[in-house]
Structure 1
Amino acid sequence: MSEAQFARWVELVRRRTGMQLAPERKSFLVTSLAARMRELGCEDYDAYYALLTEGPRGAVEWALLVDRLTVHETRFFRHRPSFALIRERLLPQAPVPEALQPYRLQVWSIGCATGEEAYSLAIAIDEHLSRLGGRYYFGVTATDISLSALATARRGRYPGKRLDRVSPDQRARYFRRVAPDTWEVVPELRKRVCFAQLNVLDLARAPLAPMDLIFCQNVLIYFDRAQREAVLAEVVRRLAPGGMLVLGPGELVGWRHPELERVHYPDTLAFRRVARAGGGAA
């Protein structure tokens, strides 16, 4: 692949997904393209580029290629401090008064990949609220650009190595073994999570209600700073007053937003949406 071809592909990926492919990732791009081109019997980068940019067939092929360009390797409770933060600083610490029940919580997992993050959020929330007792309702909306990743997430089946940070009690309560090294999320938890395809560049068109918790980790690393700030501006619009935004530590150093205040907790990057003195979001 020539430098001119690489630049052309980088621009296509950036325009359609927002992902920034640095020069040092050229080998990654070449490998990903080559694998798909071999399956199609296509030997020319320019011919494959033309295929991707022509009509309905190109749209279908692009969806398949995106799966090669996005990273899906993850695990349950990948960043433990963020889940401790949610339990200690967002969720109630005492039983909710009967008059305020059912306690309700709406959660959004952005860039959910194959679902481990979304199910981890559901486990952490259900486990905490069930200990407090009383009536409660929560739902997790989980979005990703990859259709194949979302299909895996909806199935809710994972190899044992993905569950290495799941406690024995959590495994017994929220999973069932369906093969020697395969575990399935129980239906009661799966029904709490709704998976949908969404490109983070299209957040302005996302029909989402205000969220009490937005979890966005290992997504912004693919974008330059200007894009990260633009994405977060749309994310904040969908955060309810008092709601919490949890990012990956170090993903956006020095970022500030006039409607957010920093939530300080060890090894985390989180913010809470403040409200005006007269009521409503700031």
Structure 2
Amino acid sequence: MATALSQLIGELEPGQMDDLAFQRWVRLLESRTGVTVPLERKPFLVTGLRRRMREAGFSDFGVYYNELLNGARGQMEWASLVDHLTVHETRFFRHLPSLALIQDQWLPGWLAKAPADQSLHALSVGCSTGEEAYTLAMVLDEGLGRAEPPRRFGITATDVSQPALSVARAGAYAAHRLEEIPEPYRGRAVELDSTGNLRVVDRLRRRIGFACVNLLHATRAPLRQLDLIYCQNVLIYFARDRRGELLDGLARLLRPNGLLVLGAGEITAWTHPQLTRTSGRQTLAFLRNS
């Protein structure tokens, strides 16, 4: 006879999950990651769970749920599950209007106001397998390298998936990905390695530190005051009433004249007393008041 707990979390055949069990999984995900899974995304959650359960040797949702609560062993398994439930779809130079805003509008103003010996510090939130962070490195390297005197920069890139971060740290991608990188950047930023793969040059890779950090806990991470925060296609996974809280936390990390770049349409009504919406075609960005 099934226990009360098993009835709650769904002791069902693989592929089956009743609504009560689904809500329990949703609460676990939201409490640990902040990510909200609406009912219409139930098939996505079930598919991701089944895939990881097969790999880990589980066939029952309830038993697997209990495994995730099992101390250090459960934490290790949780990290593997999160990777299966995280969407890693990304590419180099994914949103050109936002990058143009950084390079053509914000960066010249930052250079004019920042002391000549000040380095630029940036944060890439939800960097996945690294393409976004390396794109920022290419853009900043180009813009700051032309300055007089040239300025240094560093980027902290965060994600919740350890396997994705491993790919990012390697900085190696399939050769056909070169097509995503505009011609002017190719000679200085990437090279083909001995296996024929595309590899970001060491000079840029050394500018980026990759770290496993959840956006929920970003303000607790040992981050210095930042000049640029790039956070696109991340807020959509969080409940609408929580997005403002997360952005308030990111705003506190910005230095005067710092820029917060979001995905267009990710949030509509958020404002902050120390930030001003900055104009840009097809972009959503806020400038920290000086």
Alignment partner of 1:239 out of 225, 249, 254: 254
**What amino acid is the match of 1:244?**
L
Correspondence 1:117-196 to 2 at 5 A:
117-178=132-193, 182-196=197-211
Q: Secondary structure at the match of 2:158?
A: strand
Q: How far apart, in 2, do the equivalents of 1:207 and 1:93 lie?
A: 27
Q: How many residues align?
A: 274
8 Å Cα contact 1:6-1:26 kept in structure 2? yes
Residue 119 of structure 2 aligns to a residue whose secondary structure is strand
Deviation digits for residues 240-280 of structure 1 (CA, Å, limit 9, x no counterpart): 111110000000012211111010010100001113xxxxx
Instruction: State the Cα distance separating 1:54 from its structure 2 match.
Output: 1.1
One-letter code aligned to 2:151: Y
Partner of 1:24: 40
Residue 79 of structure 1 pairs with residue 95 of structure 2:
yes
Query: Residue 240 of structure 1 aligns to a residue in which SS?
Result: strand
Aligned to 1:14: 30
After alignment, is 132-141 or 254-263 more displaced? 132-141
Amino acid at match of 2:149: G
CA contact (8 A) 1:103 1:135 kept: no
Contact 1:95 1:134 in 2 (8 A): no
Indicate how the Cα distance of structure 1 residues 262 and 96 shifts in structure 2: closer, same or farther if over 3 A, else same.
closer
Query: Helix, strand or coil for the counterpart of 1:228?
Result: helix
User: How far off is 1:112 after superposition?
Assistant: 0.7
Q: Which among 227, 251, 255 is matched to residue 242 of structure 2?
A: 227
Q: TM-score, normalization: structure 1?
A: 0.92
What is the deviation of 1:103?
4.7
| 1:201 Cα offset (Å) | 1.1
Q: CA deviation at 1:131?
A: 2.9
1:45 match = 61
TM-score, structure 2 length as denominator?
A: 0.90
* Partners of 2:219 and 2:141 in 1: CA distance: 30
| CA drift at 1:163 | 3.6
Runs (5+) with no aligned partner, structure 2: 1-16
| Distance in 1 between residues matched to 2:104 and 2:271, nearest whole Å | 23
Do 1:74 and 1:162's aligned partners in 2 also have CA atoms closer than 8 Å? Answer: no
Correspondence for 1:278: none
Counterpart AA for 2:208:
V
Counterpart contact for 2:110–2:257, Cα < 8 Å = no
Which is worse superposed, 151-160 or 214-223?
151-160
Counterpart residue number, 2:271: 256
Letter in 1 for 2:123: W
Q: Deviations over 1:19-66 (max 9, x none)?
A: 111111111111111111111221100000000011110000000000
What residue is the counterpart of 2:288 in the other structure? 273
Q: Distance in 1 between matches of 2:78 and 2:46?
A: 15
2:83 matches 1:70: no
Distance 1:169 1:247 in 2: 25
Structure 1: gaps spanning 5 or more residues: 276-282
Q: Secondary structure, in 3 states, of the residue corresponding to 2:268?
A: coil
CA separation of 1:96 and 1:267: change in aligned 2, threshold 3 A: closer
| Partner SS state of residue 149, structure 1 | helix
Secondary structure (helix, strand or coil) at the match of 1:196 reads strand
Query: Is 199-208 or 68-77 further displaced after alignment?
Result: 199-208
